[in-house]
Amino acid sequence: MGNLGLFNKDAAIHEVEVSVALNNIGIRTIIPMEVWEYQSIPDAMGGKDRSPDSIHDLYGNPACPSLFVYASSSKYRICELPLLNEKERLSVIGELLSKFSKSTIEDYLLWFASVLGEFTGKLHSAGGHNYAASTHNVFVDGTLIDFEYVYLPDFSTQDPNINQRPESWMDKELLGWWDTISSLKTFLPCEVGNVELITTFFNNYSSHGGKTNLDMYRYFIKSM
């Protein structure tokens, strides 16, 4: 699937660089294609076009608005499933069952939890974290998207707070992905239990280098 995202230039370049870096450590992401820079910005009131560097970002720097062009292997993110009717939703999941050789929706949901656990463990093992872990930033096939707030030791974000105390943000990420898995479960007719989902997620997280000293890890393990 071809897609476009509107970013400031620095953020678009960050998307590309982090996506490549995540792929290099075994995390499946969208495929970056190009960053197209605007040569001019049309005035909303019909006046003269504006120079791209006259547009400022949230930090007061020249934004230089750009289009980030990327490809994904899936059409829908988790957050978009509730927007589909039941027939459409089951059709999407049916395609995923066939693609990944799963027999039931329960199998798919456990597989999804395992994939997120694996990717999160690999990211934390590399010293990084994803501040924006949510239903909006992962496709139904487990492909990750939106890396503006993904921190890696070699790739800082524009927000200095997110670059500090990585393990504190890792805790937030664990909570964000668990909420994502729980939300996915509510959209699907299945009988898999929370304990099985938590176990699957955290077993794959720890076996791929996840940090077992994190507060959220210890909390969830204790609750099982």
Domains of the chain: 2-223 (1.10.510)
- Within 13 Å, how many C-alpha atoms sit on residue 185's CB side? 19
With CA atoms as reference, report the closest residue to 76 among 188, 151, 208.
Answer: 188
Class of residue 169 by CB neighbours under 10 A (exposed 0-12, middle 13-18, buried 19+): buried
Tokens for 41?
A: 């910005």
Instruction: Identify the segments of the chain with pLDDT beneath 50.
Output: none
As a whole number of angstroms, the distance between CA 155 and CA 14 comes to 8
Each residue of 173-211: pLDDT tens digit? Answer: 999 999 999 999 998 888 888 899 999 999 999 999 999
Phi-psi region of 132 (alpha: psi -120 to 50; beta: other; left: phi over 0): alpha
- Cα–Cα distance measured from residue 57 to residue 23, given in angstroms and rounded to the nearest whole number: 28
Whether the full predicted model's pTM is greater than 0.75, yes or no, is yes
